[in-house]
Amino acid sequence: MHTAPFQNVETWVFDLDNTLYPPHMRLFDQIDARMTSFVMRITGADPVEADHLRKKYWLDYGTTLAGLMAHHAVDPVPYLVEVHDIDFSVLAPDPALRAGIARLAGRRIVYTNGSAPYARQVITARGLDGVFDAVYGVEDADYHPKPQEQAFARVFTRDGLDPTRAVMFEDDPRNLKVPHALGMRTVLVTPEVETHPHVHHHTSDLAGFLSRL
């Protein structure tokens, strides 16, 4: 891997779900199930239709929450508490990932469409306490989710990072379009190889990728 594009990076931005832990741990399956149950209760839909709405809102708005806020005036605070009340024991510490993140020069931050308290629970379960300088959740973007431009603007302004000296790691290619446009380096973290014009690098092994920088 050519490492020159990362030599002047000052801020390393990491997504959370399916990025700081691998998809095969299936943590987010629990959240999907709780979101579907929430949609059923709010809309009166049956399980099939509720699951369809959950996915549709995610596709249309970036998060199911954003769709529920737009169409059903859902209060995001209790929603985020409810859908993140899950079992974190499916996650395991990753010493190699911790070492890879810890050795990065500059600021290291997490930015997720989940809540910051939830993110901190994931970080703890993965053995990553103490390696991040800041953790930002969707509440820090005034509940605007990635991939919306205003979401990035709010979080990046709050953090004070310079996008032209930053890199973002994400599992959802949609969420790398705005960072790319802002001048960030972009790394897609997925098991399958995907090619997108706004993705500079791809890896299926985040710890391994970081070890080669």
pLDDT, tens digit (0-9, with 9 covering 90-100), for 24-42: 999 999 999 999 999 999 9
Query: pTM score, two decimals?
Result: 0.95
Residue 143 CA to residue 136 CA, distance in Å, equals: 11
pLDDT in tens, 68-89: 999 999 999 999 999 999 999 9
On whether both 35 and 129 belong to a single domain, the answer is no
Helices (H), 1-148: 27-43, 47-61, 64-72, 76-83, 95-102, 116-125
Domain ranges, residue 72: 27-83
CATH number of domain containing 192: 3.40.50.1000
Same domain, 135 and 37: no
Angle separating helix axes 64-72 and 47-61, nearest 10 degrees: 100
Same domain, 73 and 116: no
Written as six digits, the tokens of 84 are 């993140």
Distance of alpha carbon 204 from alpha carbon 209, whole angstroms? 8
Per the structure, the count of domains in the chain is 2
Q: Are residues 110 and 143 in the same domain?
A: yes
Does residue 52 carry a pLDDT above 70? yes
pLDDT at position 1 is 60
Same domain flag for 62 and 107: no
User: Do the beta carbons of residue 116 and residue 137 sit within 8 Å?
Assistant: yes
pLDDT, tens digit, 9 for 90 and up, residues 148-172: 999 999 999 999 999 999 999 999 9
Q: What is the mean predicted confidence (pLDDT) over 9-23?
A: 98
- Mean pLDDT over 50-59 rounds to 96
